[in-house]
Amino acid sequence: MAKVLCVLYDDPVTGYPTSYARDDVAQPSIYPDGQTLPTPKGIDFKPGTLLGSVSGELGLRKYLETNGHTLVVTSSKDGADSVLDKELHDAEIIISQPFWPAYMTAERIAKAKKLKMIVTAGIGSDHTDLEAANKHNITVAEVTYCNSHSVAEHVLMMILSQVRNYIPSYKQVIDGGWNIADCVSRSYDLEAMSVGTVAAGRIGLRVLRLLHPFDVKLHYMDRHRLPTAVEKELNLTYHSTLESLTKVCDVVTLNCPLHPETEHMINEKTLKNFKRGAYIINTARGKLCDRDAIVAALKSGQLAGYAGDVWFPQPAPKNHPWRTMPHHGMTPHISGTSLTAQTRYAAGTREILECYFEGRPIRDEYLIVQGGKLAGVGAHSYSDGNATKGSEEAAKYKKA
């Protein structure tokens, strides 16, 4: 029987909710490419309830305990005295969400002698050292597509809030002010601007589709080109390099995974190729950007704004400069963990566990690493290597 160690974010400070703002949670019937939503044999939670926090337990306890397994759930994940470090030695499966990632470094993987599978309840497995997972023959799986559209909606919200200067204007209201000039001296229309996505995968393509009705000029850069029919339908301009895309775009949104090829792709040097006054929207991963180069570009005016919900490490230390840099619209990592998305990825995690325990293959589209190499979606979208370096800084959040 297996021990499953599940690292989840803390409950709300006011306690686990006893009621919700809405009674139901709307779901699409299928994803646009024909992939089905998660298909576990059953679920033991009410869709729309808070599943991603400790008391929500991703709705897994009944299923696991009924089948004789042990479930340990904790939010304590950073520093040598964390519950994660104390419990991982005999865990067979570790589950965590990118919003509150259990950084599975090579050191931790080496200590976890019984570890067979690491599940990302969400999308983006860069918090696991994929090289070490390969070496130890550990399967890494994530719930592909579960929150791609949730993130795309967040991207759209952040583009509009930056370009139209929403957050400072909202603050005027809260502060009792009415200085219109202060609000509008950084406010523009999105219409007719050039907007480009770095990567046109599930999120990037959805962002392009959502932006199409705004009458903007759409650009994308990716390792693989989209079908000609899609390029025509959305009137897309393809760029084979980051430099070519950033030279012409007013807004650049990052939508690729973090892996050695993409780490710090936005840095002091590449920022020089952006149009002065461009906006960056990054809901993909904090480490795609060089932290200090972003701050410097906002201070110098090279960037007009930066918004996103991803940081490195997570949680971000209280003195992380992105909390206080000018013209930012940062949120904690929330875009992919709406109650709507949680319903999907909790079900997807359950599906992966059912497959694992019943000896059935995990869907190819959920696989990142298997059998000692990148597999499934991982083989398509990632590059070999490790992007967890520096994650120990996350322990500073509690100490600062």
Is residue 285 part of the annotated active site? The answer reads yes
222 binds ligand NDP (CB under 6 A): yes
DSSP alpha helix (H) spans, 89-237? 106-111, 130-135, 148-163, 166-174, 180-184, 202-211, 228-234
Contacts of residue 393, Cβ cutoff 8 Å, sequence gap at least 6? 313, 317
Query: Which of 121, 284, 289, 387 is in the footprint of ligand NDP by CB under 6 A?
Result: 284
Nearer to ligand NDP by C-beta: 183 or 203? 203
Is residue 223 part of the annotated active site? The answer reads no
224 binds ligand NDP (CB under 6 A): yes
Q: What gap in Å lies between CA 52 and CA 360, rounded to an integer?
A: 26
240 binds ligand NDP (CB under 6 A): no
Catalytic entry in 291, 333, 350, 363 = 333
Q: What gap in Å lies between CA 76 and CA 15, rounded to an integer?
A: 17
Contacts of residue 104, Cβ cutoff 8 Å, sequence gap at least 6? 94, 118, 127, 128, 129, 132, 133, 388
Catalytic entry in 147, 302, 370, 386 = 147
Nearer to ligand NDP by C-beta: 112 or 198? 198
Q: What gap in Å lies between CA 350 and CA 10, rounded to an integer?
A: 21
Side-chain-side CA neighbours of 113 within 13 Å: the count stands at 2
Q: What gap in Å lies between CA 311 and CA 285, rounded to an integer?
A: 7
Query: Which of 117, 199, 295, 394 is in the footprint of ligand NDP by CB under 6 A?
Result: 199
Contacts of residue 10, Cβ cutoff 8 Å, sequence gap at least 6? 53, 54, 75
Is residue 89 part of the annotated active site? The answer reads no
335 binds ligand NDP (CB under 6 A): yes
Side-chain-side CA neighbours of 177 within 13 Å: the count stands at 11
Contacts of residue 47, Cβ cutoff 8 Å, sequence gap at least 6? 24, 25, 27, 343
- Give least dist CB 130 to ligand NDP, A: 12
The DSSP 8-state label assigned to residue 53 in this structure reads B
Cα 394 to Cα 76, 101, 187, 258, 311, distances in angstroms: 11, 10, 35, 17, 10
Residue 24 labeled ligand binder = no
Contact present, 290 and 268 (Cβ < 8 Å): yes
Nearer to ligand NDP by C-beta: 114 or 373? 373
123 binds ligand NDP (CB under 6 A): yes
Nearer to ligand NDP by C-beta: 82 or 120? 120
223 binds ligand NDP (CB under 6 A): yes
Q: 51-110: which residues touch ligand NDP (CB under 6 A)? A: none
Nearer to ligand NDP by C-beta: 40 or 201? 201
Catalytic entry in 314, 342, 370, 386 = 314
Stretch that binds ligand NDP, among 59-67, 160-168, 328-336, 365-373 (CB under 6 A): 328-336
- Give least dist CB 230 to ligand NDP, A: 12
- Give least dist CB 292 to ligand NDP, A: 21
Residue type, 389: K
Stretch that binds ligand NDP, among 10-18, 50-58, 132-140, 216-224 (CB under 6 A): 216-224
3-state secondary structure of 219: strand
- Give least dist CB 247 to ligand NDP, A: 16
Is residue 314 part of the annotated active site? The answer reads yes
Residue 336 labeled ligand binder = yes
124 binds ligand NDP (CB under 6 A): yes
3-state secondary structure of 319: coil
Residue 38 labeled ligand binder = no
Q: Token pair of 173, please?
A: 């209201």
Residue 257 labeled ligand binder = yes
3-state secondary structure of 254: strand
- Contacts with ligand NDP: how many residues (CB under 6 A)? 34
256 binds ligand NDP (CB under 6 A): yes
What does the binding site for ligand NDP look like in residue numbers (CB under 6 A)? 122-124, 147-148, 151, 198-204, 221-224, 255-258, 261-262, 283-285, 309-310, 333, 335-336, 377, 380-381
Numbered residues of the known binding site for NAD(+): 148, 202-203, 222, 257-261, 283, 309, 333-336, 381
Q: Give the catalytic positions in this structure.
A: 147, 285, 314, 333
